[in-house]
Amino acid sequence: MKVLLINGSPRKAGNTYIAMSEIAKSLELEGIEAEIVSLGTKPIRSCIACNSCKAKGGNQCMFDDDLCNEVTAKMKECDGLIVGSPVYYGQPNGGLLALLQRALFSAGSYFTGKPVAAVAVCRRGGATASLQTMLMPFMMMHCPIVTSQYWNIVYGRDAGEAALDQEGMQTMRSLAKNMATMLNGLKNQPKPEYETRQAMNFIR
Protein backbone atom coordinates (compact mmCIF):
# COMPACT_ATOMS: atom_id res chain seq x y z
CA MET A 1 0.00 0.00 0.00
CA LYS A 2 1.13 3.49 -0.71
CA VAL A 3 0.47 6.94 0.66
CA LEU A 4 1.09 10.02 -1.43
CA LEU A 5 2.08 13.15 0.49
CA ILE A 6 1.68 16.43 -1.34
CA ASN A 7 3.82 19.25 0.03
CA GLY A 8 2.29 22.55 -1.03
CA SER A 9 5.21 24.66 0.17
CA PRO A 10 7.51 26.36 -2.30
CA ARG A 11 10.35 25.77 0.18
CA LYS A 12 11.96 22.48 -0.75
CA ALA A 13 13.37 21.73 2.68
CA GLY A 14 10.96 23.91 4.63
CA ASN A 15 8.80 23.18 7.63
CA THR A 16 6.00 21.46 5.70
CA TYR A 17 8.57 19.14 4.18
CA ILE A 18 9.87 18.34 7.67
CA ALA A 19 6.33 17.52 8.85
CA MET A 20 5.65 15.38 5.77
CA SER A 21 8.98 13.59 6.16
CA GLU A 22 8.15 12.69 9.76
CA ILE A 23 4.87 11.15 8.56
CA ALA A 24 6.59 9.36 5.66
CA LYS A 25 9.24 7.86 7.97
CA SER A 26 6.58 6.64 10.40
CA LEU A 27 4.45 5.18 7.59
CA GLU A 28 7.41 3.22 6.33
CA LEU A 29 7.97 1.82 9.82
CA GLU A 30 4.37 0.58 9.59
CA GLY A 31 5.14 -1.15 6.27
CA ILE A 32 3.38 1.45 4.12
CA GLU A 33 5.21 2.99 1.17
CA ALA A 34 5.30 6.79 1.18
CA GLU A 35 6.13 9.29 -1.54
CA ILE A 36 6.43 13.03 -0.98
CA VAL A 37 5.73 15.27 -3.95
CA SER A 38 6.74 18.90 -3.46
CA LEU A 39 5.01 21.46 -5.64
CA GLY A 40 8.02 23.77 -5.60
CA THR A 41 8.19 27.20 -7.15
CA LYS A 42 6.97 26.73 -10.71
CA PRO A 43 3.60 28.30 -11.57
CA ILE A 44 0.44 26.22 -11.26
CA ARG A 45 -2.58 27.36 -13.21
CA SER A 46 -5.98 27.65 -11.60
CA CYS A 47 -9.15 26.00 -12.93
CA ILE A 48 -10.82 28.05 -15.67
CA ALA A 49 -14.07 26.03 -15.55
CA CYS A 50 -13.81 25.25 -19.26
CA ASN A 51 -15.22 21.74 -18.69
CA SER A 52 -12.86 20.34 -21.33
CA CYS A 53 -11.87 17.57 -18.92
CA LYS A 54 -15.51 16.45 -18.75
CA ALA A 55 -16.19 16.93 -22.47
CA LYS A 56 -13.29 14.66 -23.35
CA GLY A 57 -14.56 12.10 -20.85
CA GLY A 58 -11.03 11.77 -19.63
CA ASN A 59 -9.38 12.18 -16.29
CA GLN A 60 -6.97 14.94 -17.17
CA CYS A 61 -6.94 18.68 -17.08
CA MET A 62 -6.55 20.19 -20.56
CA PHE A 63 -3.61 22.27 -19.31
CA ASP A 64 -0.62 19.99 -19.41
CA ASP A 65 2.16 22.48 -18.80
CA ASP A 66 2.49 22.20 -15.06
CA LEU A 67 2.52 19.53 -12.35
CA CYS A 68 -1.25 18.99 -12.17
CA ASN A 69 -1.73 15.96 -14.42
CA GLU A 70 1.44 14.30 -13.17
CA VAL A 71 0.31 14.62 -9.55
CA THR A 72 -3.25 13.59 -10.47
CA ALA A 73 -1.88 10.34 -11.92
CA LYS A 74 -0.01 9.70 -8.67
CA MET A 75 -3.16 10.43 -6.70
CA LYS A 76 -4.93 7.76 -8.74
CA GLU A 77 -2.33 5.13 -7.86
CA CYS A 78 -2.10 5.84 -4.13
CA ASP A 79 -4.19 4.17 -1.43
CA GLY A 80 -4.12 7.14 0.94
CA LEU A 81 -3.43 10.83 0.51
CA ILE A 82 -1.95 13.47 2.80
CA VAL A 83 -2.03 17.11 1.77
CA GLY A 84 0.26 19.53 3.59
CA SER A 85 0.61 23.27 3.32
CA PRO A 86 2.19 26.26 4.98
CA VAL A 87 -0.41 28.74 6.21
CA TYR A 88 -0.48 31.93 4.16
CA TYR A 89 -2.80 34.60 5.55
CA GLY A 90 -4.87 32.00 7.33
CA GLN A 91 -5.23 29.85 4.20
CA PRO A 92 -3.30 27.10 2.43
CA ASN A 93 -0.81 28.01 -0.27
CA GLY A 94 -2.58 29.21 -3.43
CA GLY A 95 -0.69 26.89 -5.80
CA LEU A 96 -1.73 23.86 -3.79
CA LEU A 97 -5.39 24.89 -3.87
CA ALA A 98 -5.19 25.51 -7.62
CA LEU A 99 -3.74 22.05 -8.18
CA LEU A 100 -6.26 20.32 -5.91
CA GLN A 101 -9.21 22.05 -7.54
CA ARG A 102 -8.10 21.06 -11.03
CA ALA A 103 -7.20 17.49 -10.01
CA LEU A 104 -10.51 16.98 -8.24
CA PHE A 105 -12.61 18.55 -10.99
CA SER A 106 -10.94 16.58 -13.77
CA ALA A 107 -10.48 13.26 -11.98
CA GLY A 108 -12.64 13.23 -8.85
CA SER A 109 -13.45 9.53 -9.21
CA TYR A 110 -9.79 8.72 -8.51
CA PHE A 111 -10.19 9.93 -4.95
CA THR A 112 -13.54 8.50 -3.95
CA GLY A 113 -13.31 6.59 -0.69
CA LYS A 114 -9.57 6.99 -0.13
CA PRO A 115 -8.44 7.97 3.38
CA VAL A 116 -7.21 11.54 3.41
CA ALA A 117 -5.49 13.79 5.95
CA ALA A 118 -4.44 17.41 5.85
CA VAL A 119 -1.50 19.02 7.66
CA ALA A 120 -1.09 22.75 8.24
CA VAL A 121 2.23 24.36 9.17
CA CYS A 122 2.35 27.87 10.53
CA ARG A 123 4.23 30.38 12.61
CA ARG A 124 1.26 31.22 14.82
CA GLY A 125 -2.33 31.24 13.51
CA GLY A 126 -4.74 30.24 10.77
CA ALA A 127 -3.97 26.52 10.84
CA THR A 128 -7.46 25.24 11.61
CA ALA A 129 -9.06 27.31 8.83
CA SER A 130 -6.39 25.97 6.47
CA LEU A 131 -7.10 22.39 7.55
CA GLN A 132 -10.77 22.86 6.82
CA THR A 133 -10.09 24.39 3.41
CA MET A 134 -7.84 21.49 2.39
CA LEU A 135 -10.35 18.88 3.57
CA MET A 136 -13.54 20.37 2.14
CA PRO A 137 -13.36 18.67 -1.29
CA PHE A 138 -12.59 15.28 0.19
CA MET A 139 -15.51 15.51 2.59
CA MET A 140 -17.84 15.28 -0.40
CA MET A 141 -16.03 12.32 -1.93
CA HIS A 142 -16.70 9.61 0.65
CA CYS A 143 -13.12 9.97 1.93
CA PRO A 144 -12.52 8.91 5.53
CA ILE A 145 -10.62 11.75 7.19
CA VAL A 146 -7.60 10.63 9.21
CA THR A 147 -6.97 12.45 12.45
CA SER A 148 -4.36 12.38 15.20
CA GLN A 149 -3.87 13.14 18.89
CA TYR A 150 -4.30 16.86 18.17
CA TRP A 151 -5.25 18.77 15.03
CA ASN A 152 -2.65 18.05 12.36
CA ILE A 153 -0.68 21.23 12.96
CA VAL A 154 3.06 21.88 13.21
CA TYR A 155 4.52 25.20 14.33
CA GLY A 156 7.58 26.94 12.94
CA ARG A 157 8.53 30.02 10.94
CA ASP A 158 12.04 29.76 9.51
CA ALA A 159 12.87 26.59 7.60
CA GLY A 160 13.92 23.93 10.08
CA GLU A 161 12.00 25.22 13.09
CA ALA A 162 9.26 22.61 12.68
CA ALA A 163 11.69 19.95 13.87
CA LEU A 164 11.78 21.74 17.24
CA ASP A 165 8.01 21.42 17.70
CA GLN A 166 8.13 18.15 19.57
CA GLU A 167 4.37 17.92 20.08
CA GLY A 168 3.81 18.70 16.40
CA MET A 169 6.25 15.98 15.35
CA GLN A 170 4.57 13.51 17.69
CA THR A 171 1.21 14.46 16.20
CA MET A 172 2.63 13.64 12.75
CA ARG A 173 3.81 10.22 13.94
CA SER A 174 0.40 9.45 15.47
CA LEU A 175 -1.26 10.56 12.25
CA ALA A 176 0.92 8.10 10.33
CA LYS A 177 -0.10 5.28 12.67
CA ASN A 178 -3.77 6.15 12.25
CA MET A 179 -3.41 6.29 8.47
CA ALA A 180 -1.72 2.86 8.50
CA THR A 181 -4.47 1.44 10.74
CA MET A 182 -7.16 2.88 8.48
CA LEU A 183 -5.52 1.49 5.34
CA ASN A 184 -5.04 -1.95 6.86
CA GLY A 185 -8.66 -1.97 8.04
CA LEU A 186 -9.97 -1.03 4.61
CA LYS A 187 -7.78 -3.51 2.75
CA ASN A 188 -9.91 -6.10 0.93
CA GLN A 189 -13.12 -4.44 2.09
CA PRO A 190 -15.75 -4.12 -0.65
CA LYS A 191 -16.59 -0.55 -1.53
CA PRO A 192 -20.08 0.52 -0.42
CA GLU A 193 -22.66 0.77 -3.19
CA TYR A 194 -24.14 4.24 -3.29
CA GLU A 195 -27.35 5.48 -4.82
CA THR A 196 -27.09 7.41 -8.07
CA ARG A 197 -26.29 10.91 -6.98
CA GLN A 198 -29.08 13.44 -7.09
CA ALA A 199 -27.47 16.66 -8.20
CA MET A 200 -29.73 19.61 -7.49
CA ASN A 201 -29.24 23.29 -7.25
CA PHE A 202 -31.42 25.64 -5.30
CA ILE A 203 -33.21 27.46 -8.05
CA ARG A 204 -35.06 24.58 -9.64
- The rounded distance, in Å, linking the Cα atoms of 131 and 117 is 9
Closer CB to ligand FMN, residue 56 or residue 157? Answer: 157
Distances, alpha carbon 179 to alpha carbons 28, 57, 173, in Å:
11, 32, 10
Interaction pattern, residues 150-189, with ligand FMN; x per rule: CB under 6 A: ------xx-x------------------------------
Of all residues in this chain, which one has the CB nearest to ligand FMN in the complex? Answer: 14
Of the candidate spans 32-40, 109-117, 122-130, 192-200, the one that interacts with ligand FMN by CB under 6 A turns out to be 122-130
Out of 4, 5, 6, 15, the residue judged to bind ligand FMN by CB under 6 A: 15
Instruction: Let me know: does 80 contact 1? Beta carbons within 8 Å.
Output: yes
CA proximity to 154, closest of 15, 27, 33: 15
Of the candidate spans 28-36, 118-126, 143-151, 184-192, the one that interacts with ligand FMN by CB under 6 A turns out to be 118-126
Binding to ligand FMN by residue 88, rule CB under 6 A?
Answer: yes
DSSP string of 18-41, one letter each residue? HHHHHHHHHHHHTT-EEEEEE-TT
Binding to ligand FMN by residue 95, rule CB under 6 A?
Answer: no
Element (H, E) at 66: none
Of the candidate spans 14-22, 37-45, 48-56, 134-142, the one that interacts with ligand FMN by CB under 6 A turns out to be 14-22
